[in-house]
Chain A
Amino acid sequence: MLHALSSRDGRVMALKKVLVLTPEYPPRTLGNVSINAHSVSRRMAQDGILTSVVTFDDWRPGETVEEGIRISRIASPIRTFYSILTWTPLITPEFVKASSKIIRGEGVDLVLSFEWTTGMSAMTIRTIHDLPLVCTYHSVESQRNPLRDSPISQGISYLEREVANAAELVAVTNDDTAKILREEYGISATKIVVTRLGKDVGSLISICRQAVEGHESANA
C-alpha cells in the first residue's frame, strides 16, 4: 500500500522515502523512544515506504537491513562522555554523515526526528538538502527535570526550541507538552499535533504526509 494524496493543484504526491533519526533503536532500548521509532519505521516499511533509520549505537556501528528497513548505527567520534550537552552536538556530524550518504544515494522525501538529541542533525539536513522535517517530542525538558532553570536544562530547552522552530510539524504525545511548546517555546499552535506516539502509528505517518505536502506546496 502506498500512502498517496492529492495536493491542492490535483497532483498526486506520495511519501516514498523517509529518513528516521532516533537516538535509540532496538536492540538499544532505553525507553519508549526506541520502541516508538521502531513501530513507525516498521509500519512505513510494510506500507511500501523506503525507510532508512540512522541511530546511535556505540556497540554495533555499521549498516544493516532489518525488517525491510535500512539501519545505519553510528558511534560517537569522541569516546569520553562529559555531559549530555557535549555528547549530543558531538554525535551530530556522524548522524549527518550517515544521513547525507543515504540522501545522496537513494534520495529522501522527509526527515522524521525523534527527540532533541537528533535535532541538530535534523535541522542541518533540512537546511542543506531542502527537506521537510517532522520532529517528535515524548516530553520536553521542563517536564522531565524539576531543576528546569539549571544551566543544563536551559541548554536542552534551547535546542528543543530551535528544532521545533525549524520543523514543519511537531508531533507530541500529550496536551501538556503542546502547551509548553506554545506558551514557553513560542511555537505556533498550527505546527503542533498531539498524537499517541507509538500507539497511533498511522496518525504519525499522516502527519509526515502533511509535512511533505506542505513543503511541496511551498516550493511549487
Chain B
Amino acid sequence: MLSWEYPPRKVGGLATHVFELSKAIAERVEIHIVTCNFPGALELESVGGAVVHRINVYSAPSPDFLTWAMLMNASLLRAGCELTSERRFDMIHCHDWLVAQACVTIKHATGIPLVATIHSTESGRRHGIHTDYQRVIHEIEGWLTYEASRIVCCSWSMVNEVAGLFNVPRDKIWMIPNGVDPEIYRPGAIDRSLRDKYADPNEKIVLYVGRLVPEKGVNVLIGAIPRILFAHPNTKFIIVGEGYSREMLSSLSKSLGVDRKVFFTRYVSDDEVKGLLGLADVQVVPSIYEPFGIVCLEAMASGIPVVASDTGGLSEIVEDGVTGLKVPSDNSNAIAYAVNRLLSDSALRESMSKRARERALAKFSWKAIADLTTQMYDSIFIK
C-alpha cells in the first residue's frame, strides 16, 4: 500500500483512512505501507500488524507541490522496487494521484495487479479544471483509473464523479466507505481545563474541524456567525485546522466583526481534537465539495449533532432530522438557521447525538470495511 500521508504525517483524512484500513486488513493479509518520512517517526515499525516503511523523500525546495510530488514518487518508487524484489506481493494498493507514478511503474515492472482508491478529484476540489497544473493532476487521476484493475471510492457520489469524469466502467468501481473507530471516538466526560482554554463557562461551542481550504466552505460558516450570535450571543466558534485560506478566513471574521468569537486553533494534536469533540454542542461541516467527510463521521461517533452540507458523501452519512441537519451547500443563512435550531433545543441535540452514534457504529465499522476491501482484492483473482 502506498500513501504519501500516514500518521504522524496528517494533512487531511487520507492518513487516518490508511492507518485504520491497514490495521483492519492486517488481521487477514500481510500488509506493508510505503509512505513519506516524518520528523521523529520511526523509519520502520509495525502498527497493528501492518509494516510501515517511512522513506526519506526529496526535501530540497521545489517549484510547486506537483513537482515535489513527482520527486517524492522517485523516492517511494525506489523503496517500493527494493521491497518487491525482496518479497512477493499479490497486490499494490495506491491511494490517490500523489503516488500514482510510483504505483503504476511498480505494476509494469513486476506485473503485480494495481488497485487505486480515489479519495477526491482535482476537478471536484477546484470546481473544474482551469490551469495546466490542474490538468496534469486531472490526467494523472484518469490515467490511474485506467491502469488500476479496481477503483475504490468512498461514497456513491464519488462513484458517480469518477465514472463520469474518467469514463470508467461501473463494474470496475467498488464503493467502500470510510470508517470510524467507536473506541477512539465516543462520548466522554468534558475536559474542563480544555474548555476554559477556548471558551467562557457560559458559552456554547460550535466546532469546525478540517483543512482551511476553499472547498471546505469555512467562509460560509463564518458568514453565518453574525446571525447565530444574534440569536445566541454566548457562543464560541472554534475552527480547528490549518490551510492556505487561514489568513483570508481570519480577515473575513474581522470584517464581519465576529473575530472575538472565533478561535483559530491552527494545527492541534489528535488528542486535543478528541477533547474538543467532547466539548462541542454542535459541529458544522460546511463543505462545498466533500467526497466523504470523515470528520462528520467522527463527530457522529462522538455523539455530537452535526450540521452538514447536503453534498457528496455528507449527504450519504447524515440522515436529515435524525442524526443531524443537512443544509444546502454554500448557504450561510441555512447554516445559521440549522445551528440556531440545535442550540435552542437541547432535547433535539440529545436525541440526534444518540442516533448519530448508533448510525456511525452500525454503518461505518472498520471491520465491515476490511471485509469489503478483501472481497474487492479477491475479485481480481476470481475469473
Which residues of A come within 8 Å of B, CB atoms?
77-83, 85-86, 88-90, 92-93, 96-97, 100, 120-121, 123-125, 127-130, 151-152, 154-155, 158-159, 162
| A154-B61, A158-B60 known; A92 vs B81 contact (CB < 8 Å) | no
Are the CB atoms of B108 and A93 closer together than 8 Å? yes
Are the CB atoms of A80 and B60 closer together than 8 Å? no
Residue in A closest to B134 when the chains form the complex, CB atoms: A80
- Beyond the given pairs A83-B67, A93-B147, A96-B105, 13 more chain A to chain B contacts, judged by CB atoms under 8 angstroms and listed by A's residue number, are A77-B139, A77-B143, A78-B140, A85-B70, A86-B66, A86-B70, A89-B71, A93-B107, A96-B109, A120-B105, A127-B78, A128-B110, A158-B74
Those of B72-127 within 8 Å (CB) of chain A: 73-74, 77-78, 81-82, 84-85, 101, 104-111
- Contact check: which of B85, B136, B143, B147 meets A128 at CB < 8 Å? B85
Are the CB atoms of B101 and A89 closer together than 8 Å? yes
Which B residues lie within 8 Å of A83 (CB)? 63, 67
Are the CB atoms of B62 and A155 closer together than 8 Å? yes
Are the CB atoms of A120 and B77 closer together than 8 Å? yes
Are the CB atoms of B84 and A85 closer together than 8 Å? no
| A92-B105, A96-B109 known; A124 vs B81 contact (CB < 8 Å) | yes
Q: Give, as a whole number of angstroms, the nearest-CB distance from A155 to chain B.
A: 5
Are the CB atoms of B77 and A152 closer together than 8 Å? no
B337 within 8 A of A: no
A152–B68 Cα distance when bound, in Å, is 10
| A86-B66, A93-B101, A128-B109 known; A158 vs B58 contact (CB < 8 Å) | yes
Residue in B closest to A79 when the chains form the complex, CB atoms: B139
B133 within 8 A of A: yes
Are the CB atoms of B139 and A80 closer together than 8 Å? yes
Which residues of B come within 8 Å of A, CB atoms?
58, 60-63, 66-67, 70-71, 73-74, 77-78, 81-82, 84-85, 101, 104-111, 132-133, 135-136, 139-140, 143, 147
Q: Give, as a whole number of angstroms, the nearest-CB distance from B236 to chain A.
A: 42
A92–B81 Cα distance when bound, in Å, is 14
Residue in A closest to B110 when the chains form the complex, CB atoms: A128
A52–B358 Cα distance when bound, in Å, is 62
- Contact check: which of B77, B78, B133 meets A82 at CB < 8 Å? B133
A78–B132 Cα distance when bound, in Å, is 11
Are the CB atoms of A78 and B60 closer together than 8 Å? no
Which A residues lie within 8 Å of B82 (CB)? 127
Q: Give, as a whole number of angstroms, the nearest-CB distance from B248 to chain A.
A: 26
Q: Give, as a whole number of angstroms, the nearest-CB distance from B81 to chain A.
A: 4
Instruction: Tell me the interface secondary structure of chain B in the complex.
Output: helix
Are the CB atoms of A78 and B136 closer together than 8 Å? yes
A89–B147 Cα distance when bound, in Å, is 16
| A89-B101, A96-B109 known; A127 vs B136 contact (CB < 8 Å) | no
Are the CB atoms of B139 and A151 closer together than 8 Å? no
Are the CB atoms of A93 and B105 closer together than 8 Å? yes
What are 11 A-to-B residue pairs whose CB atoms are below 8 Å? A78-B139, A79-B139, A86-B66, A93-B101, A121-B105, A123-B78, A124-B105, A127-B82, A128-B85, A155-B60, A159-B74
Q: Give, as a whole number of angstroms, the nearest-CB distance from A93 to chain B.
A: 4
Which A residues lie within 8 Å of B107 (CB)? 93
Q: Give, as a whole number of angstroms, the nearest-CB distance from B97 to chain A.
A: 11
A100–B105 Cα distance when bound, in Å, is 11
Which A residues lie within 8 Å of B66 (CB)? 82, 86
Which B residues lie within 8 Å of A93 (CB)? 101, 104-105, 107-108, 147
| A90-B70, A155-B62 known; A100 vs B108 contact (CB < 8 Å) | yes
Q: Give, as a whole number of angstroms, the nearest-CB distance from B139 to chain A.
A: 5
Are the CB atoms of A82 and B60 closer together than 8 Å? no
Are the CB atoms of A92 and B63 closer together than 8 Å? no
Are the CB atoms of B60 and A151 closer together than 8 Å? yes
Which A residues lie within 8 Å of B106 (CB)? 124, 128
Which A residues lie within 8 Å of B147 (CB)? 93
Are the CB atoms of A130 and B73 closer together than 8 Å? no
| A85-B70, A158-B71 known; A128 vs B81 contact (CB < 8 Å) | yes
| A128-B81, A152-B63 known; A100 vs B70 contact (CB < 8 Å) | no
| A127-B85, A154-B61, A155-B62 known; A89 vs B74 contact (CB < 8 Å) | yes
Are the CB atoms of A124 and B133 closer together than 8 Å? no
Which A residues lie within 8 Å of B73 (CB)? 89
Q: Give, as a whole number of angstroms, the nearest-CB distance from B15 to chain A.
A: 23
A57–B104 Cα distance when bound, in Å, is 20
